């Protein structure tokens, strides 16, 4: 299996404003917002990058 | 280990739609528990705070200290910054209040509590309970402890980032063109006009608009929504907003004292909002007006219907889809046609060039509309620029 690109959600607060835009747009429902922490399920995520676009402040990076 | 709970109606999420649903279910005789994952209802605010007001009385919401100020009208700015003014006298009640959204949400929660609703904060749903295909409650986590809440009817009112609906088996996935990503600054030391809510259209905000909602003299919410399908690189919503502010001296001199963001669905109505034992309401059910991005009114209107139907299901002892379909039918009668029409209008508007927006605003400036709706706007534009409305003939 080809290795997946890495997805990084900066949710320590330097960029992330915990708005939930990424959570609502994720087509696989695999991003979770817990007040001041955002996590995603590595195994479910396909790196479709939709959340990267949906993030208003650029807190999600893919590489 | 907290013990499991039992209730008639479980409402997940204490925003406006959740509180309205909880209030009306309790008012109709059901035992209601409303859970909220945050530690404070209404905070942090994720809202532009502009709101229409003609629907409030109908759903039993009284004005209170949540009313920040009452505006006289709205001003629509074309890309070349020609202004079309909508004032209350000839726009029905389309324009209305700038609100303190945290106070508004708290007021609705108080109204719910006054009807006997039990409220638990710091309580998040982590899963749905199902038995024989029917939703029978939720798994919740409060202060780090997980337990089950069993309910005859479960309601998902968990907002734009709803997961509860999807857990229950309702598809709420959005196409990229059906979502705007939004960012807003609360700015002080700006030259805003407290009489108006302002909207700037065109390439300054592709597939959305820039809004200025005044909070007080010199203080305003300055925000932007951009259609996700038109975004090309990271943090573009912020770049567009910063660029707009930089080009407007009345705001460029201001200082940002608060910042909020969020997603707004600009989607067609969902095909389904009900399954056995479960209903979805508000932003979670994609009930936001696709043209304006406003979600409070629709969420509250649907919430009232949802609450009444939930209580009915409790009283009859039948929470099957057949019974809950009353809610599905009820909200569609009230909201569906306008949601669909406005979604179609949005689909067109998001493709227009700046030159076309200029023509539309120019045409509107020359006429007085009895009531502001998509049909009347197109009629006015058609008279002056028939070529512009060619694509919109279905609406005429």
From 1.10.10.10, 3.40.50.300, 3.30.9.10, 3.90.950.10, which CATH number describes the B176-265 domain? 3.30.9.10
Give the Å distances, CA to CA, from B70 to A11, B49, B185, B294, B372: 37, 12, 20, 17, 19
Q: Give the pTM.
A: 0.94
Residue of B nearest to A50 (CA): B176
Interface test with A, best of B172, B181, B242, B267 (most A CBs within 10 A): B181
Does ipTM surpass 0.85 in this model? yes
Q: Return the CATH superfamily for domain B5-69+99-175+268-339.
A: FAD/NAD(P)-binding domain (3.50.50.60)
Per-residue pLDDT at A57 exceeds 90: yes
Which residues, at least 6 apart from B160, have a Cβ–Cβ distance to it below 8 Å? A20, A21, A24, B262, B263, B264, B265, B283, B284
CATH number for the domain whose boundaries are A7-62? 3.30.70.20
pLDDT of residue A13: 80
Q: Where are the domains of chain B?
A: 5-69+99-175+268-339, 176-265, 347-395
Q: What are the boundaries of each domain within chain A?
A: 7-62
- Point out the residues of chain B with pLDDT beneath 50: 1
What number is the average pLDDT over the span A9-25?
A: 89
Instruction: Decide: residue B35, CB within 10 A, 0-12 exposed, 13-18 middle, 19+ buried.
Output: buried
Q: What is the mean pLDDT of chain A?
A: 88
Distance from CA of A24 to the nearest CA of B (A): 4
Six-digit token string for A17: 């404003």
B237-266 pLDDT, tens digit per residue, is 999 999 999 999 999 999 999 999 999 999
Q: What is the 3-state secondary structure (H, E, C) of A10-52?
A: CCCCCCCCCCCHHHHHCCCCCEEECCCCEEECCCCCCCCCHHH
Strand partners, B75: B85, B198
Count of C-beta atoms within a 10 Å radius of residue A33:
21
Give the nearest partner residue to A35 out of B38, B159, B161, using CB atoms.
B38
Six-digit token string for B386:
């028939």
What pLDDT score does A3 carry? 64
Closest-approach residue (CA) in chain B for A36: B38
Give the integer Cα–Cα distance in Å for A18 and A56: 11
Residue-level pLDDT at B86: 85
pLDDT digits (tens, 9 = 90+) for A30-54: 999 887 789 999 999 999 999 999 9
């Amino acid at each position: 299996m080809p290795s997946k690109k890495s997805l990084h959600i900066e949710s320590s607060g330097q960029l992330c404003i915990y708005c939930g835009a990424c959570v609502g747009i994720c087509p696989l429902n695999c991003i979770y917002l817990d007040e001041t922490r955002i996590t995603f399920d590595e195994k479910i995520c396909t790196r479709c990058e939709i959340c990267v676009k949906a993030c208003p402040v650029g807190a999600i990076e893919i590489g | 280990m907290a013990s499991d709970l039992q209730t008639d109606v479980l409402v997940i999420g204490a925003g406006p739609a959740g509180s309205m649903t909880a209030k009306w279910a309790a008012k109709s005789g059901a035992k209601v528990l409303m859970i909220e994952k945050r530690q404070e209802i209404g905070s942090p605010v994720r809202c532009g705070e502009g709101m229409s007001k003609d629907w409030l009385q109908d759903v039993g919401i009284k004005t209170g200290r949540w009313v920040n100020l009452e505006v006289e009208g709205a001003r629509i700015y074309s890309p070349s910054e020609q202004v079309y003014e909508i004032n209350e006298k000839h726009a029905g009640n389309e324009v209305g209040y700038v609100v303190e959204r945290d106070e508004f949400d708290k007021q609705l929660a108080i109204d719910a509590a006054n009807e006997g609703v039990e409220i638990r904060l710091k309580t998040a749903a982590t899963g749905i309970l199902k038995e024989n295909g029917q939703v029978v409650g939720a798994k919740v986590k409060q202060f780090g402890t997980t337990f089950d809440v069993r309910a005859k009817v479960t309601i998902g009112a968990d907002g734009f980032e709803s997961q509860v609906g999807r857990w229950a088996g309702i598809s709420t996935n959005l196409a990229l063109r059906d979502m705007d990503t939004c960012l807003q600054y609360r700015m002080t030391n700006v030259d805003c006009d407290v009489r108006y809510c302002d909207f700037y259209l065109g390439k300054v905000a592709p597939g959305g608009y820039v809004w200025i909602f005044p909070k007080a003299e010199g203080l305003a919410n300055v925000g932007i929504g951009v259609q996700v399908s038109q975004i090309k690189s990271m943090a573009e919503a912020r770049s567009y907003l910063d660029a707009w502010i930089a080009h407007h001296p009345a705001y460029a001199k201001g200082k940002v004292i608060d910042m909020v963001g969020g997603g707004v669905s600009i989607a067609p109505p969902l095909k389904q909002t009900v399954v056995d034992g479960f209903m979805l309401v508000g932003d979670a059910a994609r009930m936001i007006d696709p043209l304006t991005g406003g979600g409070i009114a629709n969420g509250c209107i649907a919430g009232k219907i949802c609450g009444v139907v939930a209580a009915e299901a409790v009283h009859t002892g039948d929470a099957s889809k057949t019974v809950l379909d009353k809610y599905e039918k009820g909200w569609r009668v009230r909201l569906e046609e306008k949601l669909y029409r406005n979604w179609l209008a949005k689909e067109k508007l998001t493709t227009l060039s700046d030159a076309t927006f200029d023509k539309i605003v120019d045409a509107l400036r020359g006429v007085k509309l009895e009531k502001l709706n998509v049909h009347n706007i197109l009629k006015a534009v058609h008279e002056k620029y028939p070529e512009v409305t060619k694509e919109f003939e279905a609406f005429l």
